[in-house]
């Protein structure tokens, strides 16, 4: 061990000399115990780091290299994961238009989750008269309509009107079945488009985000069915 290393070791030993009579294992286990009650992942990791650091110091004081090596490894892993959490929680800014979409239509998503979802898709435009999906075909994408409007036809009969703020193709995505209706653009439409492969990747690698996506699609589907039934009663379709 070089002089610098010896100096640091001596400092640790001096600290334990000053606190002779107190077993720091109690502190290490106590911090570890407290971390079990933390709901916030960042608080949990900070307490775990405190516990692991204390275990490391105990290992150094007792010249137990097994404890020193394992706790150094644990600390390194925990530091990386803590930095990742801090990075995900950094302030994320969106353009005014995207911020409004986030606040209005994706309130259950964190800013980081919404960023992952939104920017994994691409913007696409449709002109009046174009079809976004066709009855009987399995859509290869999911669309979120955030500008313009469209009409829904089943077997050539208009059954609903679709305004901005709704998804298109969510039923096929959730069930894997062909589209049950045509969605035709009436006003110039701007959508966010996600490929099926992109969404399946979320399902495989980010299960918590996928659950939120499914929940959002489910709520959208219920809203559209409710609006469709209301229009039928009013004779508007």
User: pLDDT tens digits, residue range 193-211?
Assistant: 999 999 999 999 999 999 9
3-class SS at 141?
Answer: strand
In the prediction, which pLDDT does 173 show? 80
In the prediction, which pLDDT does 1 show? 52
pTM for the whole structure: 0.65
* Local confidence band at 134 (pLDDT 50, 70, 90 cut-offs): very high
In the prediction, which pLDDT does 48 show? 93
Mean pLDDT of the chain: 86
Q: Average pLDDT of 134-143?
A: 92
What span, in angstroms and rounded, lies between the C-alpha atoms of 165 and 89?
27
Which residues make beta-bridge pairs with 168? 143
Q: Which residue has the higher pLDDT, 2 or 183?
A: 183
For residues 132 and 189, is the Cβ–Cβ distance under 8 A? yes
* Local confidence band at 175 (pLDDT 50, 70, 90 cut-offs): confident
The percent of residues above 90 in pLDDT, for the chain, comes to 54
For the chain, which domains are there?
Answer: 3-88 (no CATH), 96-234 (2.60.120.10)
Tokens of 45: 């990791």
């Amino acid at each position: 061990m070089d002089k610098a290393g010896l100096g640091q070791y001596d400092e640790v030993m001096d600290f334990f000399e000053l606190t002779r009579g107190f077993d720091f294992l109690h502190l290490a286990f106590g911090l570890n115990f407290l971390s079990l009650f933390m709901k916030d992942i960042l608080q949990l990791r900070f307490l775990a780091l405190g516990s692991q650091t204390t275990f490391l110091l105990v290992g150094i004081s007792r010249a137990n290299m097994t404890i020193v090596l394992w706790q150094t490894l644990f600390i390194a892993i925990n530091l990386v994961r803590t930095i990742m959490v801090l990075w995900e929680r950094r302030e994320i800014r969106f353009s005014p238009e995207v911020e409004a979409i986030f606040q209005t239509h994706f309130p259950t998503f964190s800013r980081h989750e919404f960023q992952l979802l939104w920017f994994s898709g691409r913007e696409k435009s449709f002109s009046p008269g174009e079809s976004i999906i066709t009855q009987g075909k399995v859509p290869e994408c999911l669309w979120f309509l955030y500008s313009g409007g469209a009409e829904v036809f089943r077997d050539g009969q208009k059954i609903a009107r679709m305004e901005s703020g709704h998804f298109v193709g969510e039923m096929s995505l959730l069930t894997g079945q062909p589209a049950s209706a045509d969605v035709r653009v009436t006003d110039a439409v701007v959508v966010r488009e996600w490929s099926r492969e992109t969404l399946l990747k979320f399902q495989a690698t980010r299960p918590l985000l996928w659950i939120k996506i499914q929940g959002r699609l489910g709520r959208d589907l219920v809203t559209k069915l409710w609006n469709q039934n209301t229009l039928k009663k009013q004779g508007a379709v």
